[in-house]
Amino acid sequence: MSHTNQTLGEFIIENQSSFKYTSGELSRLINSIRLAAKVVNHEVNKAGLVDIIGAVGDTNIQGEDQQKLDVYANEKFIQTMTKRNIVCGIASEEEDDFVAINSQDENNQNKYIVLIDPLDGSSNIDVNVSVGTIFSVYRRVTPVGTPVTIEDFLQKGSQQVAAGYVIYGTSTMLVYTTGDGVNGFTLNPAIGSFYLSHPNMQFPEDGKIYSVNEGNYIHFPKGIKDYIKYCQKEEGDRPYTSRYIGSLVSDFHRNMIKGGIYMYPKSSKKMNGKLRLLYECNPMAFLAEQANGKASDGFTRIMDIEPTELHERVPFICGSKNMVEKAEEFMRNA
């Protein structure tokens, strides 16, 4: 049966099966992310109609022009999680330092912290190409009721308790894991509910799509150049197809559905690549592994990397397991 003639009850299970192994507090946290996603989605969908696209004039700590939607999304996600009193700290791509949320209050028993890329794919905002939001959730390591410290945020990706993304594309989806597989929920804007449209999402072990900004090719390490040439060679099931949307969330989402590999390698211009470990690579790596995929920096599992600073960047290779392992083989043999 198509979705349209299913009774609503059969699909609106956003509050049920996805939380079967999730604590009440974590469920409330994900609920607040869902609410903020609906608010941001509303703005993304009319970005062309109101004065909300185009750079806000400031630059963030990354030195990148802050697009208005980046700032708007950042405010909405932080506001929603603060107002609903469910986290004790938030770090964001758009905030120089982490934001403590009443964590010094002895009565604040909240134990979760969130790291977020409020608007991923910023370069696509004013050209009407899909963008996303990425989030990563940990339990704090410092005692409840004391102020959060940087060590609450500098935890290995393997310590995440939840991670996910919102993709504002041809439809708006919330895709996340709490450590028990990956589920995808599609927003029905008519009633403002997310439907479980993609249960138990899995990366195909193989794929025929490679996703990398080949404009940087001459600056890539030899191993990456060799792997790209391997993808392009007429042999067996190759050449593969090159697809690069310029939004990590969109390229990742397509690869998880169709099979593929996404790479943002280091280069002579960007010695650690471009993507940030804490709120882009770790959450996407958690999702990838929960969906039978793989994520590394070419040598080390992303979720084993010990973070040293809030906005640190790492080279990132992620997607179908066999494709990532082939790229790692070229990196090792270079």
Minimum distance, C-beta of residue 102 to ligand FBP, in the bound complex (Å):
27
Q: Please identify, using beta-carbon distances, which residue of 215 and 236 lies nearer to ligand FBP.
A: 215
Q: Which residues pair with 139 in a beta bridge?
A: 112
- The alpha carbon torsion through 318, 320, 326, 330 (nearest 10 deg) reads -20
- 202, interface contact from ligand FBP, Mg ion, none, CB < 5-8 Å by kind: none
Tokens of 154: 């500098």
* DSSP H helix total and E strand total for the chain: 8, 15
Task: Fill in the per-residue mask, 71 to 100: x = in contact with ligand FBP (CB under 6 A), - = not in contact.
Answer: ----------------------x-------
Helix, strand or coil, per DSSP, at residue 230: helix
- 259, interface contact from Mg ion, ligand FBP, none, CB < 5-8 Å by kind: none
Q: Choose one: 31-39, 242-250, 253-261, 284-292; the region binding ligand FBP (CB under 6 A).
A: 242-250
- CA angle in degrees (0–180, nearest 5) for 163-177-190: 95
Minimum distance, C-beta of residue 79 to ligand FBP, in the bound complex (Å):
19
What is the spatial distance between Cα 181 and Cα 201, in angstroms, rounded to a whole number? Answer: 7
Number of residues lying near ligand FBP (CB under 6 A): 12
Minimum distance, C-beta of residue 178 to ligand FBP, in the bound complex (Å):
23
Q: Is 121 annotated as a binding residue?
A: yes
What is the spatial distance between Cα 213 and Cα 263, in angstroms, rounded to a whole number? Answer: 8
Q: Is 233 annotated as a binding residue?
A: no
Instruction: Give burial (CB, 10 Å; 0-12/13-18/19+) of 8.
Output: exposed
Q: Is 270 annotated as a binding residue?
A: no
- Residues 166/172, Cβ–Cβ less than 8 Å: yes
Residue from 26, 76, 120, 261 binding ligand FBP (CB under 6 A): 120
Under the criterion CB under 6 A, does residue 248 sit at the interface with ligand FBP? yes
- 213, interface contact from Mg ion, ligand FBP, none, CB < 5-8 Å by kind: ligand FBP
User: Where along the sequence are the contacts to ligand FBP (CB under 6 A)?
Assistant: 64, 93, 117, 120-123, 213, 246-248, 274
